Amino acid sequence: MPVNELLLMLFAFLTSLLTAVMGLGGGLILIALMPGLLPPLAIIPVHAATQLVSNASRALFAWRDIHWIVVTPFLIGSITGGLLSTRIAALINLDYLPLLIAAFILFNVWGGGINFQTNPKGEFLTIGLIQTGMGMLAGATGPLGQSTLLRKGLVRDAMVATSAVFMSITHLVKLAFFGLLGFSFASYWPVTLAMMGAVIAGTWTGTRLRHRVPDARFKVVVKWLLTLLALRIVVQVLLARLDG
């Protein structure tokens, strides 16, 4: 197996484990690690397929904790967001897509992300629209829904499980629209399948570790690791442009 595929499997396992324990961070870290290991065109679709399995397995392992009342409006918003973003996605220069990913990571870590200060009517429909619409362009947008669930006062297990459902919906919609845009998933099925197996193993392990690991220390580590990874993406793109 090529070194790149082995690295992607390892990263998929570790980031899925982290998300199962913390409820956030793994998807952003994984997509930050993927540039340089896959062609730019394949990063978001392969990431979406992998994260669909990761989140669906996390929701399955904790289905009793899902806060179902907010799922339907989120689903409607996600489909709408996917429809709106397909035209924009088709117009983007994919060579610069990693920079968009890096900017989104830094915005989430240091800019506070997108935050509703009030609770407008249709809040979760709006969140679904933005999270999936942005996800078509920037890849990992889970912190938007997670931050809102935390603000609603959900306990840790409910937040992790419900966020997993949100992200499962987002990635499923993204995969459907990337297929309509003509992306060939068949070209990347070996690495995608390998990463899927790795994220299931990571989720299973992390679910059993969730109540044993304090999250305060992890949050600090994730914040700085995400920052370093985002800066790494920027440097990679700039060096590639200089070489070109």
Mean pLDDT of 18-28: 79
Please tell me the total number of residues recorded for the chain in this structure: 244
Contact 131, 81 (CB under 8 A): yes
DSSP letters of 143-176?
HHHHHHHHHTT--HHHHHHHHHHHHHHHHHHHHH
Tens digit of pLDDT for each residue in 111-163? 766 555 555 557 788 888 888 887 777 656 666 677 677 667 677 778 888 98
- DSSP single-letter state for residue 38: B
Predicted confidence band of residue 216 (pLDDT cuts 50, 70, 90):
low
- Taking a C-beta distance cutoff of 8 angstroms, is the pair 138, 104 a contact? yes
Residue 118 burial (10 A CB sphere; 0-12, 13-18, 19+): exposed
Beta-strand ranges (E) seen in the chain are none
Residue 105 contacts residue 229 (beta carbons within 8 Å): yes
Quote the pLDDT of residue 83.
85
Residue 221 CB: number of other CB atoms within 10 A? Answer: 12
Hey, what are 86's tokens? Answer: 């397909």
Confidence of residue 13 (pLDDT cuts 50, 70, 90): very high
Q: Is the pTM of this model over 0.85?
A: no
